[in-house]
Structure 1
Amino acid sequence: MQTVSPARDRGPAFSGHPRGLATLCGTEMWERFSYYGMRSILVLFLVAPPVAGGMGLSETTAVGVYGVYIASVYLLALAGGWIGDRLLGTRRTVLLGACVIMSGHLAMAVPVAGPFTWLGLALIAVGSGLLKPNIAALVGHLYRDEDEPRREAGYTLFFLGINVGAFLGIIVVPWLQRGDRWHLAFGAAAAGMAIGLAQYVLGGRRLAGAGERPGHRLTPAERRRFTAVALTGTAVTAAALGLWALSGTFTIERFTLALAVVTALVPLAYFAFLLFGSHEITPPERTGLYAYLWLFLAAAVFWMIYDQAGSALLLFAKEHTRLHILGFDVPPSWVANVNSLTIILLAPAFARFFVAAGDRIGIPAKFAAALLLIGLSFVVMAVAAGFAAGGTKVSVAWLLTVYFIQTIGEIFLTPVGLSVTRRLAPAAFQNQMMGVWYLAIALGDAAGGQVYRLTTVVPMPVYYLVLALAAIAAGLLIALGSGRLRALMGDPAGTEPARAG
């Protein structure tokens, strides 16, 4: 077992929290600057014609690429959490991830569309998979296990740092991109990650030993077995892709569909392993995982809709929204920044609210509220798409309303989801469970990238309304089962379930 970090025992010095939280918030802020800045122009770059410096893909293919890229970022978080748990420790894994991410953005900045674009996306996905679960786990390591309300508030402040970075990235990168300066904008994302990397190295002493060693280091025999499996898996995957390319049937669209299927199979296999195959999980831990599975699926539905901000909603802003505001042509990516701005303004208030409410408002109720809100946002989107169906551009107020509703839902879901993941994680899988939380985002994003294909056969208002009803139905289901879920989680306010599984 990993020993209690000295950072937990230090007095609070950052807004009532351990000093190390400032280092982690700053690092994540700049990583999110680079991630969201690049993401805010990715689909536009993919659909732009080659004469304008873009890739010239169709909208459905570009959205599919976007979906599996975002999904891969979070899918690889499971492997990143395992590496932090078993090989490098969380702190070194975060450092490695930041270096790989910066390399990916540098590749995107090379002014040659094609191979460097795919290389850059792959490196960013791998680096993000290393960094994301481990930096989130480090936040949890700063608090004592019994200090759940303060940890949840700490994650809300961490969440605030994410959105400060996202806000700045979505302002700066699209502004630099204007006039088809794609690779200058991608270079700005690389610079942001370099600042985050330097900030992490210089502020590392504030972590006071947290995450320096793997919690469950592999034995020499396990390391040899891992190396053999990793090399074999890499060789088989490379050979399969090579044969697929030689067959003449390989297309980007088919590749994105294959990756979406893999993304769906990975969480299925991993939960099967946790619930039925692992001998390192105690019966009480396994009971908590049954509750977590339902929250995981709810989160996947939420992210299936929410992350269409960078695809369906971005294209709607570009093609169907009046963006000439107060004499200035607003880049379509800027519209989504109401999300980050709202979180910056409201997250501190929600942090205080979560601490004051304590256990009176259960985690399942917060998840249900998030799903109902995200569903409501796409009801509004369906109405907006209906007005735009005749070719008339609609007011930007429609999208601002959609993003505001979604943001309130995200505040209910994301910090609470991170905290409950840390709480219900089996002792032997602490960092990996942070990767499992990101698997929910991966599953939702992969599904979102593929369901956009429906827009080729159904009108856009119908598309938005179908997804809205799916989210509302899921929210009602979680609300109705809230008492039983709280009992499985060990909350005193829960009702006794008929069975634990």
Structure 2
Amino acid sequence: MSNVNRQKIVDSVPQKGFFGHPKGLFTLFFTEFWERFSYYGMRAILVYYMYYSVTKGGLGMDQTLALSIMSIYGSLVYMSGIIGGWFADRIFGTSKAVFYGGILIMLGHIALAIPGNIAFFFVSMVLIVLGTGLLKPNVSTVVGEMYAENDNRRDAGFSIFYMGINAGAFLSPLIVGSKAIMNTSFHLGFGIAAVGMFLGLIVFLATKKKNLGLAGTMVSNPLSSAEKKKVYTYFALAVIVIAIICFITIPNGLLTFEAFINIVSILGILIPAIYFIRMYTSPKTTSVERSRVIAYIPLFIASVMFWAIQEQGSTILANYADKRTQLDFAGINISPAWFQSLNPLFIIVLAPVFAAIWVKLGKREPSIPQKFSLGLLFAGLSFMVILIPAYLGGTDSLVNPLWLVLSYLIVVLGELCLSPVGLSATTKLAPAAFSAQTMSLWFLSSAAAQALNAQVVKFYTPATEMTYFGVIGGASIVLGIILLAMSPKIQGLMKGIR
């Protein structure tokens, strides 16, 4: 997009109206608030819905299979962002991508809210994966379009926007979890999630014309008519081929749950590897940029390790909250889904504290690889603390919920060391010809982590609990120490980036 078009978009957006920021920030703040409310509300109860018995309102799946499917679900959500970004850049723009994505997400939650069989569950998975892929990356792009390149309000605007994300993620497990689990009505919980997305769409439609101006309406790299025809033909052929493969393999037992999980797990590792090879070998990448790509590889691996632990908050730790935690505590009957609110709550409280610490340290602030190593150390410790109650009381007794609270707190400390700096480092280390694709690569670290988790969670049982948490937590700590030792070397490969 040219500088002229960028300025034209900025001029079309009312620049005052939401805490001193562009008026469109109101629209996007509440659109994303309700989208995250719906997504995290659904995610807080989904694994329980899968493995709870039919008499308790669930699908009665095998528990290990449910945990693997939950991990694959998360992996596909992050992978689909690549598709969503491409459609926005080449066909219909980011604003329409947000709207179409919201509709698909809402329909996915409605499919879950309909009492029925497992078919509705898989229909909802497809709809929510595609919808989130369209909405999630593109709504952030629209936020950026409202600010001029030299506008010093930009960082503060994104901070306000991300507060909306975490506020929605904090409230939804409390509300949806109460209705779904404590009232044994999963479909009501999914219905609440659908209503949340519907409210987000209402806010978006009602205010976008007045508040967003041209933001999100311009297609940055549109397809020509001939290219569109070719793309639509390929798309139709791909759908037909996939349908034929499913028609042949599913009835014959070739495409099973396990086979699908294995395929996605392989793709979760293979796709980032292809990205790295393509960037490094491209003639458009300079020698300095190749050095930075090499520096980015250990950071990417560290990110995969970190998210592999952090994302188990919605799988293994969710199961731990349900099966191993004392839920009658201090006179309160706790829903296991409520623990999903801890991560966004701690982020809301602690993010300003970390920002102040980094500013206070000034030149003594840790380097990028040092912050990544801290993230890994905290992630490992978050799993190691789970060993303490099992060691003291055995794996048969119920655990004080404060141990689980402590685990969530420690991993958030790691997230605040790694996640914000990871986004920043990605923009700095990306080769100029691959800037947008490198940002997609950063999100693929979460996809790779959850693809890995789909295999790892199979090893979790009550009998292997201590070994499971100990090995994974220990591996993260060891990797963090190795990364810390390698920090000077990695810093040198960054060629001036700090």
Same fold (TM over 0.5): yes
Q: Which residue of structure 2 lines up, in the alignment, with residue 386 of structure 1?
A: 391
Say which is worse superposed, 213-222 or 174-183, in terms of deviation. Answer: 213-222
AA aligned opposite 1:166: A
Quick one: structure 1 residues 292 and 199, their matched pair in 2 at CA, closer, same or farther if it must change by over 3 Å? farther
Q: Which residue of structure 2 lines up, in the alignment, with residue 309 of structure 1?
A: 313
Q: Which residue of structure 2 lines up, in the alignment, with residue 163 of structure 1?
A: 166
Contact preservation (8 Å) 2:395, 2:462: no
AA aligned opposite 2:234: V
Matched, 1:367 2:372: yes
Aligned partners of 1:464 and 1:236: how far apart in 2? 42
Q: Which residue of structure 1 lines up, in the alignment, with residue 414 of structure 2?
A: 409
Matched, 1:129 2:145: no
Quick one: structure 1 residues 492 and 57, their matched pair in 2 at CA, closer, same or farther if it must change by over 3 Å? closer
Specify every segment of 5 or more residues in structure 1 that has no aligned partner in the other structure, as ranges.
494-501
Q: Secondary structure at the match of 2:58?
A: coil
Matched, 1:98 2:65: no
Instruction: Let me know the Cα RMSD of the aligned residues.
Output: 2.8
Aligned partners of 1:217 and 1:84: how far apart in 2? 9
Matched, 1:246 2:273: no
Aligned partners of 1:12 and 1:354: how far apart in 2? 29
2:350 to 327, 346, 353: 346
Matched, 1:38 2:46: no
AA aligned opposite 1:366: K
Aligned partners of 1:175 and 1:290: how far apart in 2? 47
Q: Which residue of structure 2 lines up, in the alignment, with residue 497 of structure 1?
A: none
Aligned partners of 2:147 and 2:390: how far apart in 1? 46
Quick one: structure 1 residues 257 and 210, their matched pair in 2 at CA, closer, same or farther if it must change by over 3 Å? same
Q: Secondary structure at the match of 1:459?
A: helix
Aligned partners of 1:358 and 1:199: how far apart in 2? 41
Q: Which residue of structure 2 lines up, in the alignment, with residue 115 of structure 1?
A: 119
AA aligned opposite 1:471: S
Quick one: structure 1 residues 81 and 483, their matched pair in 2 at CA, closer, same or farther if it must change by over 3 Å? farther
Q: Which residue of structure 2 lines up, in the alignment, with residue 477 of structure 1?
A: 482
Quick one: structure 1 residues 482 and 145, their matched pair in 2 at CA, closer, same or farther if it must change by over 3 Å? farther
Instruction: Tell me the CA shift for residue 83 of structure 1.
Output: 1.6
Quick one: structure 1 residues 110 and 220, their matched pair in 2 at CA, closer, same or farther if it must change by over 3 Å? same
Report 1:10-29 matches (<5 A).
14=18, 17-29=21-33
Instruction: Tell me the CA shift for residue 375 of structure 1.
Output: 1.0
Aligned partners of 2:204 and 2:490: how far apart in 1? 38
Q: Which residue of structure 2 lines up, in the alignment, with residue 54 of structure 1?
A: 58
AA aligned opposite 1:300: V
Matched, 1:265 2:231: no
Contact preservation (8 Å) 2:279, 2:431: no
Q: Secondary structure at the match of 2:250?
A: helix
2:227 to 222, 231, 256: 222
**Could you report, residue by residue, the CA deviation over 1:450-477 in whole angstroms, capped at 9, with x for unpaired residues?**
1011225971111111111222233233
Contact preservation (8 Å) 2:90, 2:221: yes
Q: Which residue of structure 2 lines up, in the alignment, with residue 376 of structure 1?
A: 381
Give the total of aligned pairs: 491
Quick one: structure 1 residues 143 and 489, their matched pair in 2 at CA, closer, same or farther if it must change by over 3 Å? farther
Q: Which residue of structure 2 lines up, in the alignment, with residue 71 of structure 1?
A: 75
Report 1:411-490 matches (<5 A).
411-425=416-430, 431-455=436-460, 459-489=464-494
The structure, 1 or 2, with the larger RCO (C-alpha pairs under 8 Å, 6+ apart) is 1
Aligned partners of 2:358 and 2:203: how far apart in 1? 29
**Could you tell me the TM-score, scaled by structure 1's length?**
0.89
Quick one: structure 1 residues 200 and 485, their matched pair in 2 at CA, closer, same or farther if it must change by over 3 Å? farther
Quick one: structure 1 residues 285 and 220, their matched pair in 2 at CA, closer, same or farther if it must change by over 3 Å? farther
AA aligned opposite 2:110: L
Instruction: Tell me the CA shift for residue 79 of structure 1.
Output: 1.2
Aligned partners of 1:85 and 1:283: how far apart in 2? 28
Aligned partners of 2:21 and 2:302: how far apart in 1? 30
Quick one: structure 1 residues 245 and 84, their matched pair in 2 at CA, closer, same or farther if it must change by over 3 Å? same
Task: Give percent identity, aligned residues only.
Answer: 37
Instruction: Tell me the CA shift for residue 285 of structure 1.
Output: 5.1
**Could you report, residue by residue, the CA deviation over 1:39-97 in whole angstroms, capped at 9, with x for unpaired residues?**
11111111111222211111110001101011111111111112222222222212211
Quick one: structure 1 residues 62 and 302, their matched pair in 2 at CA, closer, same or farther if it must change by over 3 Å? same
AA aligned opposite 1:398: W
Q: Which residue of structure 2 lines up, in the alignment, with residue 400 of structure 1?
A: 405
Aligned partners of 1:477 and 1:146: how far apart in 2? 39
Q: Which residue of structure 1 lines up, in the alignment, with residue 325 of structure 2?
A: 321
Instruction: Tell me the CA shift for residue 219 of structure 1.
Output: 2.9
Contact preservation (8 Å) 2:428, 2:497: no
Q: Secondary structure at the match of 1:55?
A: coil
Instruction: Tell me the CA shift for residue 268 of structure 1.
Output: 1.9
AA aligned opposite 1:298: A
